[in-house]
Copies of this chain bind each other. A is one copy, B any other.
Amino acid sequence: MIQRFLENPILKPSMITPSSAGMAVECTLNPGAFEFNGQTWLLVRVAERPVPVEGKTTVSIFDDKGALKILSFDNADPDLNLSDARAVSYRGTAYLSTLSHLRLLCSDDGVHFHEPKPSRSLTGMGSLETYGIEDCRVALIEGRYYLTFTAVSENGVGVGMISTRDWQTFKRHGMMLPPHNKDCALFEEKVNDKFWCLHRPSSPELGGNYIWLASSPDLDHWGNHVCIARTRPDMWDSGRIGAGCSPIKTEKGWLIIYHGATNKNRYCLGAMLLDLDDPTRVIARSKSPIMEPAETYETKGFFGEVIFTNGHVVHGDEITMYYGAADEVICGAKISIQAVLTHLASGG
Contacts and interface: CB of A to CB of B under 8 A. Distances in A.
A226 interface: yes
Nearest to A207: B156
A228 B157 CA distance: 15
Interface in A169-201: 173-181, 199, 201
Copies of the protein in its oligomer: 2
Contacts of A226: 127-128, 174-175
A56 interface: no
19 contacts: A94-B206, A153-B207, A156-B206, A156-B227, A157-B203, A157-B205, A157-B206, A158-B201, A174-B223, A176-B223, A177-B178, A177-B225, A178-B181, A178-B201, A180-B207, A202-B203, A202-B204, A218-B221, A221-B224
A92 B199 contact: no
Given A94-B206, A155-B230, 8 more contacts: A92-B233, A127-B227, A128-B226, A154-B207, A155-B207, A156-B210, A174-B226, A180-B202
A201 B218 contact: no
A233 B230 CA distance: 35
Interface in A147-174: 152-158, 173-174
Interface in A89-115: 92, 94
Contacts of A205: 157, 180
A199 B210 CA distance: 21
B223 A201 contact: no
A137 to B, nearest CB: 17
A192 to B, nearest CB: 14
Contacts of A208: 156
Contact of A222 (B203, B212, B222): B222
Contacts of A204: 180, 202-204
A315 to B, nearest CB: 33
Interface in A209-224: 210, 212, 214-218, 220-224
Given A175-B225, A178-B225, A226-B175, A152 B206 contact: yes
A131 interface: yes
Given A180-B180, A199-B178, A201-B180, A206 B154 contact: yes
A204 B176 CA distance: 19
Contacts of A233: 92
Contacts of A176: 223-225
